[in-house]
Amino acid sequence: MKLNFKAIFSILGLLLMLNGGFMLMCLPVSIYYNDGDWHALLISGIFTLLIGLITYVLTKNQSNGGLKKRDGYLVVTMGWLCMSLFGTLPYLISQEIPFFTDAFFETLSGFTTTGASILNDIESIGKGILMWRSLTQWIGGMGIIVLTVAILPLLGIGGMQLFVAEAPGVTPDKLKPRITDTAKRLWLIYLGLTVFEAILLKIGGMDYFDSINHALTTMATGGFSTKNASVAYFTTPFIQYVIIVFMFLAGTNFTLTYFGLHGQLKKIWGNEEFRYYFSFSAGFVILITAVVFFVTDNSFESSFRDSLFQLVSIVTTTGYVTADYTNWAPLLTVIFFMLMFVGASAGSTAGGVKVVRHVILLKNSIMELRRQIHPAAVLPVRLNKKAVSSDITFNIMAFMIIYFMVFAFGSILISALGYDFNTSVGAVATCLGNIGPGFGKVGPMDNFAFISIPGKWILSFLMLLGRLELFTVLILFTPYYWTKH
Amino acid sequence: MKLNFKAIFSILGLLLMLNGGFMLMCLPVSIYYNDGDWHALLISGIFTLLIGLITYVLTKNQSNGGLKKRDGYLVVTMGWLCMSLFGTLPYLISQEIPFFTDAFFETLSGFTTTGASILNDIESIGKGILMWRSLTQWIGGMGIIVLTVAILPLLGIGGMQLFVAEAPGVTPDKLKPRITDTAKRLWLIYLGLTVFEAILLKIGGMDYFDSINHALTTMATGGFSTKNASVAYFTTPFIQYVIIVFMFLAGTNFTLTYFGLHGQLKKIWGNEEFRYYFSFSAGFVILITAVVFFVTDNSFESSFRDSLFQLVSIVTTTGYVTADYTNWAPLLTVIFFMLMFVGASAGSTAGGVKVVRHVILLKNSIMELRRQIHPAAVLPVRLNKKAVSSDITFNIMAFMIIYFMVFAFGSILISALGYDFNTSVGAVATCLGNIGPGFGKVGPMDNFAFISIPGKWILSFLMLLGRLELFTVLILFTPYYWTKH
SS3 assignment, position B469 = coil
Contact A372 B338 (CB under 8 A): no
**Angle subtended at Cα B154 by Cα B149 and Cα B156, rounded to the nearest 5 degrees:** 105
Inter-chain CB proximity A370 and B400 less than 8 Å: no
Cβ(B155)–Cβ(B73) below 8 Å:
yes
CB contact under 8 A, A331 and B411: no
pLDDT of residue A173: 38
Query: For residues A36 and A90, is the Cβ–Cβ distance under 8 A?
Result: no
pLDDT in tens, A123-143: 999 999 999 999 999 999 999
Report the distance separating Cα A226 and Cα A233, nearest Å.
10
- Nearest by CB to residue A334, choosing from B404, B421, B485, is B421
Q: Shortest Cα distance from B394 to chain A (angstroms)?
A: 6
Across the interface, whether the CB atoms of B156 and A425 are under 8 A apart is answered: no
- Phi and psi dihedrals of A377, rounded to 5? -70, 140
- Of A65 and A277, which is predicted with more confidence? A277
Give me the pLDDT at residue B439, please.
87
pLDDT beneath 50: ranges in chain B: 165, 169-176
**Could you tell me where the beta strands, DSSP code E, fall in B221-292?**
none
| Sign of the dihedral defined by the CA atoms of residues B38, B44, B49, B50, in that order | positive
Residue by residue, DSSP assigns A75-127 as HHHHHHHHHHHHHTHHHHHHTSS-SHHHHHHHHHHHHTT------S-GGGS-H
- Looking from the CA of A368 toward its CB, the CA atoms found within 13 Å total 30
CA distance B485 to B482: 9
List, for residues A7-54, the tens digit of each pLDDT value: 889 999 999 999 999 999 999 999 999 999 999 999 999 999 999 999
Please check the confidence at residue A168 and state whether its pLDDT lies above 60.
no
For position B61, what pLDDT does the model report? 66
Mean pLDDT on A233-246:
97
For residue A51, what are the contacts with CB-CB under 8 A and spacing of at least 6?
A16, A20, A86
pLDDT at B1: 63
Residues paired with B386 in a beta bridge: B383
| Minimum-distance CB partner of A369 among B369, B390, B474 | B474
Nearest to A350 by CA among A212, A195, A223: A223
B313: closest CA of chain A, how far (Å): 20
Quote the pLDDT of residue A5.
87
Q: Read off the amino acid at residue A342.
A: V
Asked if the C-beta of B184 comes within 8 angstroms of chain A's C-beta atoms, the answer is no
Q: What is the b/e burial string over B275-311, where b = at least 16 CB atoms within 10 angstroms of the residue's CB?
A: ebbbebbeebbebbbebbbeeeeeeeebbbbbbbbbb
pLDDT at residue number A147: 85
For residue A208, name the pLDDT band (cuts at 50, 70, 90): very high
Give the model's pLDDT for residue A376: 78
Q: Using alpha carbons, select from B73, B82, B93, B77 the residue that is nearest to residue B19.
A: B82
Band of pLDDT at residue A267, cut at 50, 70 and 90: confident
Q: Is the dihedral of CA B60, B61, B64, B66 positive or negative?
A: positive
Closest chain B residue by Cα to residue A362: B402
Share of chain A above pLDDT 90, in %: 73
Tens digits of per-residue pLDDT, A80-102? 999 999 999 999 999 999 999 99
Q: How far apart are the first and last CA of chain A?
A: 5
So what's the pLDDT on residue B164? 53
Amino acid identity for residue B349 in this structure: T
Task: Give the residue on A whose Cα is nearest the Cα of B419.
Answer: A330
What pLDDT does residue A182 have? 76
Q: Contact A394/B397, CB-based, under 8 Å?
A: yes
8-state DSSP, B296? S
Is there a contact between A21 and A13 (Cβ–Cβ < 8 Å)? no
Is residue B330 within 8 A of residue A419, CB to CB? The reply is: yes
In angstroms, the separation between the Cα of residue A419 and the nearest Cα of chain B is: 6
pLDDT single digits (tens) A22-35:
999 999 999 999 99
Q: What is the full DSSP assignment across B23-80?
A: HHHTHHHHHHHT-S-HHHHHHHHHHHHHHHHHHHHHHGGG--S---HHHHHHHHHHHH
Of A372, A393, A420, which to mutate for an interface test with B (greatest number of B Cβ within 10 Å)?
A372
Q: Is A174 helix (H, G, I), strand (E, B) or coil?
A: coil
Q: Residue B128: CB partners within 8 Å, gap ≥ 6?
A: B26, B27, B29, B30, B31, B33, B35, B37, B38, B41, B90
Q: Are A390 and A380 spatial neighbours (Cβ–Cβ below 8 Å)?
A: yes
User: Does B482 contact chain A (CB < 8 Å)?
Assistant: no
- What integer is the mean pLDDT of A349-362? 94
Global pTM value = 0.94
Q: Do A401 and B402 touch (CB under 8 A)?
A: no
Strand partners, B250: none
> CB neighbours of A376 closer than 8 A, spacing ≥ 6?
none
Q: Mean pLDDT of all residues in chain A?
A: 91
Identify the DSSP state of A181. Answer: I
CA B411 to chain A, closest CA, distance in angstroms equals: 7
Instruction: Note which residues in 439-478 of chain B have CB less than 8 A from chain A.
Output: 439, 471, 474-475, 478
Our separate counts of H helices and E strands in chain A read 23, 2
Position B129, amino acid: I
- What is the reported pLDDT for A161? 64
Closest chain A residue by Cα to residue B153: A372
A151 shares contact with chain B (CB less than 8 Å): no
Q: Which among A334, A361, A422 has the least Cβ separation from residue B415?
A: A334
Query: Between A237-250 and A300-315, two packed helices, what is the crossing angle to 10 degrees?
Result: 30
Q: Do A157 and B372 touch (CB under 8 A)?
A: yes
Predicted local distance difference test score (pLDDT) of residue B264 = 86
CA atoms in the 13 A half-sphere facing the CB of A479: 0
Q: For residue B70, how far is the Cα from the chain centroid?
A: 24
pLDDT given for residue A60 in this prediction: 75
